[in-house]
Structure formats: C-alpha cells, structure tokens
Amino acid sequence: MRTAPTILHLDMDAFFASAEQAAKPSLRGKAVVVGGLGVRGVVATASYEARVFGVHSAMPMAQARRLAPNAAYLVPRFQLYRDVSEQVMGLLRELSPLVEPLSLDEAFVDLEAGGTAWDETSARLVGAKLRADIRAVTGLTGSVGLAASKMIAKIASEQAKPDGLVLIEPGTERALLGPMSVRTLPGVGPATGDHLRRAGITTVEEIAEAGEDELVRLVGKAHGHALYAMALAHDDRPVVAEREAKSVSVEDTYEVDIHDRVRVATEVQRLADRCVVRLRKAGRSGRTVVLKVRRYDFSTLTRSETLRGPTDDPSVVSEAAARLLDSVDTTGGVRLLGVGVTGLADYTQEDLFAQAQAAAGELLAQEQAEEEGVPETVTETEAPAERRWPSGHDVRHAEYGHGWVQGSGLGRVTVRFETPYSGPGRVRTFRTDDPALEPADPLPLVAPVPGAGGAAEDAGTASGTAAVTDAEESAEERGGQAGPASSEPASRPKSRSGGAGDARSSP
C-alpha cells in the first residue's frame, strides 16, 4: 500500500434528490423521494429531509409513502443526472488521468498518477478545492474521502457525509476499522453478516482475531482470504480508468401481473429492441442472449442462448428472446421481464440466415400480393392516446414559460412554473391535451452566462413571470389529483408543500 492518502473517493450527496431540489426552488429544504411511482416501484434516492422519516434507497415506494406521506415523489430525470454527472466527472479528470466511475454519482481518483497530490497536505487541498468546484459548477454538494487505498477512501467518504471531507492517515487504518461492524467491509452482505454473527464475530477486529484459517472454514476459501485481508486493511487494488462492461440488459417490472401470453411475447420483443439500442450506443455486440422472467410467486427464471457469433442485429436478438420465452411457463402471471446480451465484443458477425430469411419473406409477400391483386393496405388512423405527464418532469408553456409537473390525473395536469434560478413559482392546472403545453429539456442547475441565449432566455421568461410568494399561490396547490384551474382563494389553511398528485412536499 502507498504511504500517502492520494486515493480520492467522491460520492455526491443524495444525488438524484439533490438535483431535483436544485432544479425546483419550491422543494429546497423539503422531503424529496425519487424513484418508480407505481405500485411496485422502489426508491432510487431520498433527500436527507426524507431520510429523517426512515426512507432510504431500494425501499419499496409503497413503504416510503407510508413513512413520509407528505414528501414530494418524483419520476427520475436521467438526462439531467447524466448531464450533471458529466460535469462532475470532467472535474475529476482534470485532477488525474486515472478516474474510475462506479456510477453516475461516485468515482475513485488516483491523485498521485495525476501529480496533483503527493502527501497529506496536498491531498487535503485538492479535496477541498474539488468540493468547491463541484458546488460552483453544478450547485450540488459531494463528500470526499482520502486514504491510501480504495476501501478506506470509500469508508472515509461515508464518514464525511453529507458535504464533508475526511482524510484517513496511512498507518491508522486498523484502529479505524477495528470497532466497525463486519458489514462495513465490501462483500459482506446480510447473509454473510448473519453467518459471522452466529460464529460470534460482529466487528472487523474480531474478524482479524479469528484468523485466516477460521474464516476460510466459515465462509469458504476465496471469500475467507479476502475477508481476512480487508480486516487487516490490506487493499492494493489500483484505480482503473475504464471498467469494461460484461453485459447489456434492460428489464421492466409491471404494476399488474401480465397473464396474456401474447402480451408477454410483445413485451419481450420490445425489451429486446431496447437492449439492442443500448448495445449499439455502446458500440458493442454480443453473442449470448439472456431472458429473465419473474413470475407471480416471485420465482425468477433465466434462460440463455449462445449464437454463432456476436451480433447487434435487432431481429436476431428478438428471435432468440422469443425462442427462449417458448421454454418458460408463464401460467399464473408475470411481474418482471428482462432481456440482456452477454459475451460482448466490439465487432459483429452478422446472422446472414436471419437476414436472408427476412428478405425472402418480404419478397414472397410482395409476389403474392401482385399475383392475387391484393389492394394496397390502408392504415386506419387511431385516436391519439392521452399524453402522459410524469411527476417532476420538465414542461414549457407558450405563455407561462418553463415549469415542472407536480401531478396529473382525470384529464388534468398541474404545473409549477419555476426554474433553478427563480424563487418558488406559481402553480397552474391545464387539460392534459392543452396544445400550449409541451415536454421540455431540463435546464442547467447553475444559471447560464448572461447573453448566452437559449436556455438562459427560457429561464428568464419563467423566473420573471412565475415567481410568487406563498401568500399569492392559488388553491390549485391542494394535494391529491390535479383539479381544474381556478383563481378562487383556498377555502382552508393552505399547505406550504404546494403540490398536486405525486409531488407533495412535507412542511
């Protein structure tokens, strides 16, 4: 291990929720929960205000609503999170060529490789400047851990939360780890933790005292050796700039179990197409197609088929997924479906048979139509489906400017018109098919440079016309479903949460 704390671990604070609070002035300082809002949705991120009520990541959304019924519940805006993440990762790459992203909001940095830190003093200065730069560029906060190894740096960033910096001096790692729970160590989950607890081992120091042989006997050879090394604070893993993806997959959980076999097949085809889109965006191909099915009783089945060579052809992946589905019994209903591709490569070996088969089918259909004199198919125009307005997503109104969806239902959508650079904005309700209301792209969280135009001008429109005080807000801010627009004053004491539908906020 190195002798200076030059490995930095950055973890943005409640990233998704903090980004939403920064974008929505009316939610700052209030409980915000981001995740799937359906019956089977789960919490992706909870703001620190929501965590006071016991809400945390990976919790079922229904449980979160019981714990914090007045929180603002928002659908994730991944485009915004990716944009902010790119800004943060750009700042990290200025410090070192060795940046190892773990997710959108978390990364390791080898400061020594970049020549930006070589001892405790320089590392602390770099960490402090990074936190200031992140706040200036994104308006958000991040916690920084500094240590001589990746494991200890990550533990340090956890101790620094929220919005702090902790540096662990080399040589003090054993004393730090000793009294900590065994669950602190990477790879020790609930099952391994319970197994160790039954053996009388509850702290990291007790792991070290148990000895390597005893750990191998308890948890197996590979895990036992690794666990003993971590308890002694031995971690020589390098910071790796690029971590190669091993698979590409997509999956959906359905609010109501799907019983119709035809619809199940349709969903599998749709997932296969989405999977190929991701595969192509990554510039990869894959050789093995994997189908995942979770049935009504929570039992999960996986089936896979290995092709003759790597492919990114949507028809090949779809056909393989359909064949795999044929071997799965979906009687009783399906609650989750997923399609993935593994065995990734950066080249493709086209499935010529599949392509030829598709071309032959099209030619045969054309010839039959010509011989039989089949008239040209006329497609009937269907009535347009009602537009969906996910809670928390951006919109723009021709008259009122930029805003975000507070809730929708019963043919109505409630919008709060505010921007990251304005005060709390006015709330108005519209019909879901209002032609003046359109989806919009997220605005930057930090005000653009004056005169830059574009988003800055849009933001100016909203901030100049929509900023109001609580006393000016209309009765449209009541909870529950969005109601019709009204200019009448509220008939009861008004909640300061200011939300309709799923975007309620705690006082």
Q: Which residues are catalytic?
A: 106
- Strand, coil or helix: what is 140? coil
CA distance 179 to 405: 47
Q: Which two tokens stand for residue 242?
A: 């690029």
CA distance 46 to 56: 6
Exposure on the CB side of residue 417, measured as CA atoms within 13 A: 27
HEC secondary structure over 175-212: HHHCCCEHHHCCCCCHHHHHHHHHCCCCEHHHHHHHCH
Cβ proximity of 505 and 404 under 8 Å? no
Sheet strands side by side (includes 7-12): 99-103, 106-110, 7-12, 142-147, 165-167
CA distance 330 to 325: 9
Q: Are β-strands 72-74 and 32-35 bridged in parallel, bridged antiparallel, or unpaired?
A: parallel
Amino acid at 162: P
Q: Which two tokens stand for residue 12?
A: 């943005």
- Strand, coil or helix: what is 222? helix
- Strand, coil or helix: what is 502? coil
Helix (H) / strand (E) element for 342: namely strand 334-345
Torsion of CA 300, 303, 309, 313, to 10 degrees: -70
Rg (CA), the chain: 27
